[in-house]
Amino acid sequence: MKRDSAHMSARRSAVAAAATDYRVALNQAMQSHQAGDLDTAERLYRDVLERRAGQPDAMHYLGVLCHQQGRSDEGVRLIEAALKITPKHPDAHNNLGNIHKECGRLRDAERSYRKALECGPQHYNAQNNLAVVLEAQERLEEAFEAYAKLLQQAPKFAQGYYLMGMFLRNHAQSREHVEQSVECFRTAYQLNPRNVRALESLGMSLYALHRLEEAAQVYRDWLAREPEHPVPRHMLAACGAAEAPSRAADDYVREVFDAFAESFDEQLLKNLNYRAPQVLAEALGGVLPGVVGALDILDAGCGTGLCAPWLRPYAKQLVGVDLSGGMVDKARARGGYDGLEVAELTAYLQAHPDTYDVVFSADTLVYFGELRDVLDASHAALRPGGWVAFTVEAAEGEDDSVVLSPSGRYQHTRGYVERVLASTGFSHISIRTDTLRKEGGQPVMGWVVLAQRTH
């Protein structure tokens, strides 16, 4: 009897020690995960699961981690398994929703966010995400209600005001909506002064309302606080209050697109009606009939990799280049490229003479005012017979000119594009107009351009 109770108590201590061990390992795993050391975190989560099969937190967070590493299907399986054990876990439903959303399965994402809200009605991240996926499905009234509910639930949540401001401006049906967006961006910035995107958006809304002097003042004040910040420097020039550079500075491009890449939600929103990759690829397809899997193609300014699926069928080698490391990371996770490089485009092209059959650039040369250098470098990077294909925003008028518009992007006249292409030695120049995306509810017209290096 005595021996039995000693045995039981030893067993109990061993069980207690194992339980403490797995909790310690789980904590360490979560710390490594938060610090971005994904390999260590994965090893520790798996260690926990070996000691304690089916431990739901370890499965849930390992699922999130798998998705971050591009193994989204495994991530979904793990979180679903965790939810079988703890079905009322709002964070797990929310994270499952995030994976679906980022994989483009908006209906599944919506279902997960609704479940998260059933389990935790005050879960404002889930409410925020629900609004985002409703907007992405163009269910605008429901999305508006969801954003309004979010602001009611979380009146100090800066990001909520920012997203509501974006919603109001992107889907504005009247001037009043744009005016309301101004208030939302001001509040978002007051609540979180580190949210410089709110300031940038504030300037854009003021511009949309033709209150250009007020927009310039926002950037002047910002520059006075942060004299080295590339965004107000660029945007002040875009408002006409400083001299425009010949192309957007490298630090401006990095700042804007690294931030953009971080925020997949907004990316999803902004991609609504974004057609440049498709329109440009279809135009290119018209001059490359029957060429399947045979070409060396550069996706010049590849961003998050949206062009890859359109280019892949033609490519033997598909290489993406972009200045923003954040965008390149997203492109890598999306897949489809044989190589990806973080580099400035003109310099990259100059370093690769006679290398490509196609230089393809969707919505990137809008960050270049003067096109001469980049087109010279494209010509040299192409093999004889190769094609450059790009889109730029259309400036009105018959003259030969470039403007940096208050949106921060350059606009080129057709005459300008034609002259520079011809003077760079390209032939078979084709320039046609198309809608590239919508901004503030209005179509943005662009030039869809093809030209060939013949010798």
Ligand X SMILES: C[S@@+](CC[C@H](N)C(=O)[O-])C[C@H]1O[C@@H](n2cnc3c(N)ncnc32)[C@H](O)[C@@H]1O
Q: Which residues bind ligand X (CB under 6 A)?
A: 253, 257, 276-277, 301-303, 306-307, 322-324, 327, 344-345, 362-364, 367
Identity of the residue, 110 or 322, whose beta carbon is nearer to ligand X in the bound complex? 322
State the DSSP code for 301.
Answer: T
How far does CA 243 lie from the centroid of its chain? 29
In the block, residue with structure tokens 């990001």: 159
The minimum distance between CB 249 and ligand X, in angstroms, equals: 9
Q: How far is the CB of 324 from ligand X (least distance, A)?
A: 4
Beta-strand ranges (E) seen in 323-414 are: 339-342, 356-361, 382-394, 402-404, 410-412
Residue number with CB closer to ligand X (94 or 364): 364
Least distance between ligand X and beta carbon 381 (Å): 13
If the CB atoms of residues 32 and 364 are measured against ligand X, the closer one turns out to be 364
**Shortest gap between Cβ of 307 and ligand X (angstroms)?**
5
Q: Among residues 411, 372, 145, 181, which one has the least CA distance to residue 153?
A: 145
Give residues with Cβ within 8 angstroms of 389, minimum separation 6.
280, 283, 284, 358, 359, 360, 361, 449, 450
Q: Of 313, 323, 249, give the one whose Cα is nearest residue 281.
A: 313
Rank residues 90 and 326 by Cβ distance to ligand X and give the closer one: 326
CB of 400 to ligand X, least distance (A): 23
For residue 249, the SS3 value is coil
Pick 42 or 363: Cβ nearer ligand X: 363
Rg (CA), the chain: 26
Tokens encoding 256: 């804007």
Residues in the chain: 455
Rounded to the nearest whole angstrom, what is the least distance from the CB of residue 325 to ligand X in the complex?
Answer: 9
Give the nearer residue to ligand X in terms of CB position, either 340 or 421.
340
Nearer to ligand X by C-beta: 136 or 327? 327
Q: Which three-class secondary structure state does DSSP give residue 248?
A: coil
Q: Which helix (H) or strand (E) holds 404?
A: strand 402-404
Minimum distance of ligand X from residue 344's CB (angstroms) = 4
The residue whose Cβ lies closest to ligand X is: 303
